[in-house]
Amino acid sequence: MHAYRTHTCNQLRAEHKGQTVKISGWVHRKRDHGGLMFLDLRDHYGLMQCVINTDNPLFSALEKIRLENVISVTGEVVARTAETINKHLPTGEVEVRVKAFELLSAPVTDMLPLQVNSDEPYGEEVRLKYRFLDLRRDVLHRNIVLRSDFVSSLRRRMTEQGFREFQTPILTASSPEGARDFLVPSRLHPGKFYALPQAPQQFKQLLMMSGFDRYFQIAPCFRDEDARADRTAGEFYQLDVEMSFVTQEDVFAAMEPVIYGAFAEFANFTGTRFKITKPPFVRISYDESTLKYGNDKPDLRNPLVITDVTSVFNRSDVEFRAFKEILAKGGVVRAIRTPKVSDRPRSFFDKLNDWARGEGAPGLGYVIFEGMEGKGPIAKFIPTAALAELQKLTGAGSGDAVFFVCDALDKAVPLDGKARTKIAEELDIIEKHTFKFCWIVDFPMYEINDKTGKVDFSHNPFSMPAGGLKALNNDGPLKIKAYQYDCVLNGIELASGGIRNHVPEIMERAFEIAGYSRGTVETKFGGMYNAFKFGAPPHGGCAFGIDRMVMFLADQKNVREVIAFPMNQQAEDLLMNAPTVVEPNLLRDVHIKLDLPKAQVKAAS
C-alpha cells in the first residue's frame, strides 16, 4: 500500500464498498458522540467521512487529534445506511471505517488563528499573515483553482490561434508607462538601477521587430502605486499580447474569441450562469462614451443614457438663472433620462439631490414629465416649447424624469457618470449576472496636464496617431486621435492596447508635441529607436488584467480574493514580512547609504 494514500478524499463511492483504502489529509471536523466518533478528512479534492467507535483501541488516540492536523487513515470503505447518506457530499454514500491512522504533520498545539472549517469573514490582517490557513478554506481555495484553470484556458486559446508564449526580463530599464518604478540597485554598476517592468511593452514590440509575429505572455507587471479594492499594491498579472501586420480590428478579432471563450468556460463558477456578450463586442468611441456614459469605461448593464441638452437651457424662453450663469462661462447641461419614476416619492429625488451635494455639486436638478407637462422644482422655469425640445433630445416620455448636471465640461462629465450609476443603483435597474464587454476606441492622443497646463500624452506614447505625421503637423494636438483602445467589462477597464507607432520620424514628432526635445526618443528608448530604423513591421496589441478577469468570474469585490499571496493595502507582505530592513553589508554591496525621514530611522536600524 502507498505510504500516504490509495485514494483522494473525493474519490470514494459506493462502488468502492468493501475495499481497504488509505486516505490522507487535514482533520476538517470531528463529531464525537463518546461511543462513536465521525471525523471529516479534507484534502485538495474534497471531504471524506471516517468513523470509529470505542471497541477500536485507537479510539482515544484519534479522539485527541485536533483540527488541522495532517493524518493518514487506513480503513474499509463501507456503505452508509439509507438514512445516513449525506446528499451534500459527493462521497456521502460511503464512509471509511478506521483501522489505523498516523499523524503525518507535527502535532498542532497552538490555537488556530483562524478556523479553516468556517466561512466567517475574518479580518484581512489575520488572513494575510496566516495565508496558508486562509488558502485551505473552501471559497479562497476554489478561487485560486479557478485562477489556475482560467490562465490555462487563456494559454490554450492563445496557442491555438498561433500565438507563442515568450519570457521577457524582470530586471530591465524604466518603461514608458507613467507609474512609479520599483528600482533594483546594481552591484556591478555603482549608482545605477534596474527597474522592474511596469509591463513588457518595449520587449513585446521588440519581439515583433525581431520577426516573431504573434506574442503573448502571462506577464507580471510592477508599479509602485497605491492599492484599491480592484488593484493590488505593487504587482499584478496581464495577458500581454502583440501582433505584427495588423489593424485595430485584427487585434479585436484575435482577442474576442479568447476572452469570450474563457469567460464562457467559467461563467458558471459561482453556481449562477452569467450571460456574456458574444463577439463582436460593441465598439464605442471615446467621445461617444464620455457623452453617453460620463466616462471612458461604461457599465453597459446600466440602461440609462446621458444626452447633451445645453441647447434647451440656452433658449431665450428658459429663465433658469442658475444654469444660465454657468452656460455663460462655457458650461454644459447634461441630462439623464430616467424612465418610469414619476410615481416615486419626493424623498427619492431629495436623496439623489443630497447625494449630488455630497459629490460637491450644487445639487441634481430634475424635471418629471406627466403627459406634456413638467413637474418638479425647476419645471416652472422651462416653458412648454422648451419642454418639448427636452423630450425630443432625451427621448423622455410621460412618467419619465430627466436629471440635470450643469457645470464646466470637465466637471460635468465625471459627475454625469457617477449620477448615472447612482440613479441606476437606487432604481436597481443594473442587469444582474451579466458580463457586458465593449471596446472603447479613438482615444485622444494628447491631453492637457491639469497641473502643468502643458500638452501630455494621454495614454501610451508609443501609440500611432490617427492620420500619422500629417495630422501631427497640421491638426491641433487635442484634436488628434490615437489608435488606442480599451476593453471594458461592466464599468471596469479590463484591457488597454494600441496600434504602435513604428515610424521613427512620426515618433520624434509625437514626442516633440508632448514637450520632449528632439533626440529624447533616441536617448530614452535607444533600443526601440534603433529597431525602428532597421525595419519595423506595423504592429499592435493589448494587455488584459488577469486578476480583474478572475475577480469577475469569481464574483468577488476585491482582487485579494483571487490572488494566492497578495500584499495588504500598505504594500506589505505580512506572511513573508516584506519589505524589511536588510543587513548593512547587503547595502554596502549595492553601494547604498540610507537617508531616512527622522521618524523612520529607528525602525530601520
Helix (H) or strand (E) holding 298: none
CA 48 to chain CA centroid, Å, is: 36
Q: CB count, 10 Å around CB of 209?
A: 20
Which residue lies nearer to RNA by CB, 55 or 595?
A: 55
Instruction: Give least dist CB 100 to RNA, A.
Output: 18
521, burial (CB in 10 Å: exposed 0-12, middle 13-18, buried 19+): buried
3-class SS of residue 551: helix
Which residue lies nearer to RNA by CB, 321 or 598?
A: 598
Which residue lies nearer to RNA by CB, 80 or 344?
A: 80
Which residue lies nearer to RNA by CB, 64 or 329?
A: 64
Which residue lies nearer to RNA by CB, 233 or 309?
A: 233
Residues lying near RNA in the complex (CB under 7 A): 29-36, 38, 40, 49, 51, 53-55, 64, 66-67, 80-81, 83-86, 88-89, 92, 95, 111-115, 118, 120-126, 128, 177-180, 198-199, 201, 223, 225-231, 451, 457-460, 496, 558, 560, 568-570, 572
Q: Cα separations (Å) of 133 from 23, 30, 141?
A: 21, 18, 10
- Give the Cα separation of 559 and 548 in Å (integer): 7
Instruction: Give least dist CB 84 to RNA, A.
Output: 4
Instruction: Give least dist CB 66 to RNA, A.
Output: 4
| Three cell numbers written together for 96 | 471509511
| Three cell numbers written together for 128 | 494575510
Which residue lies nearer to RNA by CB, 142 or 533?
A: 142
How big is the chain, counted in residues?
A: 605
The residue among 354, 358, 357, 376 whose CA lies nearest residue 366 is 376
Q: What angle do CA 175, 559, 547 make, to 5 degrees?
A: 55
DSSP for 95-131 reads EEEEEEEEE-SPP--SPPSS-TT------HHHHHHTH
| Three cell numbers written together for 342 | 414619476
Instruction: Give least dist CB 556 to RNA, A.
Output: 11
- Give the Cα separation of 239 and 258 in Å (integer): 11
Instruction: Give least dist CB 2 to RNA, A.
Output: 26
Instruction: Give least dist CB 318 to RNA, A.
Output: 33
Instruction: Give least dist CB 282 to RNA, A.
Output: 21
Which residue lies nearer to RNA by CB, 113 or 584?
A: 113
Amino acid present at 502: H
Task: Please report where in the chains the cell 484591457 appears, as a residue.
Answer: 495
The residue among 36, 138, 24, 13 whose CA lies nearest residue 85 is 13
Which residue lies nearer to RNA by CB, 437 or 544?
A: 544
| Three cell numbers written together for 451 | 497641473
Instruction: Give least dist CB 37 to RNA, A.
Output: 8
Which residue lies nearer to RNA by CB, 223 or 509?
A: 223
3-class SS of residue 405: strand
How are beta strands 47-53 and 94-103 bridged, if at all? Answer: parallel
Q: Please give the torsion angle defined by the CA atoms of residues 497, 503, 508 and 511, in that order, rounded to the nearest 10 degrees.
A: -10
Which residue lies nearer to RNA by CB, 155 or 459?
A: 459
Task: Please report where in the chains the cell 457623452 appears, as a residue.
Answer: 291
Instruction: Give least dist CB 528 to RNA, A.
Output: 14
Contacts of 168 (CB under 8 A, 6+ apart): 197, 200, 203, 204, 207, 217, 219
Which residue lies nearer to RNA by CB, 120 or 428?
A: 120
CB 485 within 8 A of CB 439: yes
Instruction: Give least dist CB 153 to RNA, A.
Output: 24
Which residue lies nearer to RNA by CB, 81 or 580?
A: 81
Instruction: Give least dist CB 138 to RNA, A.
Output: 12
Which residue lies nearer to RNA by CB, 111 or 188?
A: 111
Long-range contacts of 292-296 (CB under 8 A, 24+ apart): 293/417, 293/420, 294/334, 294/413, 294/414, 294/415, 294/416, 294/417, 294/418, 294/419, 294/420, 295/413, 295/414, 295/417, 296/440, 296/443, 296/486, 296/488
Instruction: Give least dist CB 220 to RNA, A.
Output: 14
Instruction: Give least dist CB 39 to RNA, A.
Output: 9
CB 32 within 8 A of CB 59: no
